[in-house]
Amino acid sequence: MKKIIEIVDTIETAQVYAELSDAKSGGICVFVGTVREFTNEEEVVALEFETYKTMALKEMEKIADRAIEKWNLNKVVLRHAVGEKGVAEPVVVVGASSAHRDACFEACRFLIDTLKETVPIWKKEKFKNKSVWVSAHP
């Protein structure tokens, strides 16, 4: 089993397929979260992310372990960016590979939803005339 758990400055989406590829896997599922152009009808200029890295990595490790056990995954990726990110730039990528597609889809949804709910990551939404700190959690 291979897990990749990281807090990074930049998300490189092209590498995720290779990281999740496994001869035992018939399915690979990946979710990439990006900076959207509008929030509540206000134009977003950028998002800024901060985290308590040690705690975030420990929590991400727990999430990966739960998913591996529940869905019998072969590989897992959980990667979140920090710093300022512009519109359309990726900020988070999660992925799972398993023998069957159902497990991949379910695990991928669990990975992103649980990451957003439990990992200590905060974001500042930057608009043209103001900035607002909000939790990255829903």
Q: CATH code at 89?
A: 3.90.1170.40
| CA neighbor of 29 nearest in space, from 112, 89, 116 | 112
* Model confidence, pTM: 0.94
Judge whether residue 135 has pLDDT over 80. no
For 35, the domain range is 2-135
Q: Sorting pLDDT into bands at 50, 70 and 90, what band is 136?
A: low
Q: In whole angstroms, what is the distance from residue 61 CA to residue 57 CA?
A: 6
| CA neighbor of 28 nearest in space, from 105, 93, 85, 81 | 105
pLDDT tens-digit readout, 85-118? 999 999 999 999 999 999 999 999 999 999 999 9
pLDDT tens-digit readout, 23-65? 999 999 999 999 999 999 999 999 999 999 999 999 999 999 9
| CA neighbor of 37 nearest in space, from 80, 72, 83, 86 | 86
**CB contact set of 127 (below 8 Å; sequence gap of 6+):** 39, 42, 43, 44, 45
Number of domains in the chain: 1
